[in-house]
Amino acid sequence: MIILELYLSFLKIGAFSIGGGYVMLPLIQQEIIENRAWLTLPEFLNILAIAEMTPGPVAINSATFIGYQAGGFWGAAFATAGVVTPSLVLMVAAASFLSHFYENRWVQAALDGLRPAVLALIASAAIFVAESAVVDILSAIFSLTVIALLLLTRIHPVLTLLLAAAAGVIFYL
């Protein structure tokens, strides 16, 4: 039953994605595209673009859109529930226990070790998306322009997405 498979797949993705939605991208690629073949890479990239532009966390948006694509309304509901279940359980546990141990040097050492690993997972996701999204010189120029705008100006990221979408319509139609 695809509904249960979606829940369990996104439960696994959510459980092993320390650091947020972008960290999930390599796991989603492995589980949803390669292992389950519920989506193709171009379909996933389209969903990722929509998830980025939609208000809310990219992880939840991605799970919802992927679940809908693979299993309709109930697929979306169960994929979303699956991806948030580990965070919900961990946050309740963390709220109960971490406040007592946060200053502990062992906890701090573990967190210090996790930060670079999270950075590496985010970089891996960026490289994965770049390899698939930068398909020609024009898309490379779009990417570099948006990076420059984000790093060198105070432009809002949503505005860069809207500008990129407009440029896509102008240059690719």
Question: pLDDT band for position 145 (50/70/90)?
Answer: very high
Q: Are residues 116 and 147 in the same domain?
A: no
Q: Are residues 55 and 85 in the same domain?
A: yes
Q: Are residues 105 and 138 in the same domain?
A: no
| Number of domains making up the chain | 2
Q: Is the pLDDT of residue 19 over 80?
A: no
| pLDDT of amino acid 107 | 83
| pLDDT of amino acid 66 | 92
Q: Is the pLDDT of residue 25 over 70?
A: yes
Q: Is the pLDDT of residue 45 over 80?
A: yes
- What integer is the mean pLDDT of 31-36? 90
Between 75 and 130, name the one with better pLDDT: 75
Please report which residue ranges of the chain form alpha helices under DSSP H.
Answer: 2-15, 21-28, 41-53, 58-101, 105-133, 137-152, 157-172
Q: Are residues 113 and 171 in the same domain?
A: no
By residue range, what is the domain housing residue 159? 134-173
Q: Are residues 138 and 128 in the same domain?
A: no
Neighbours of 65 (CB within 10 A): 22
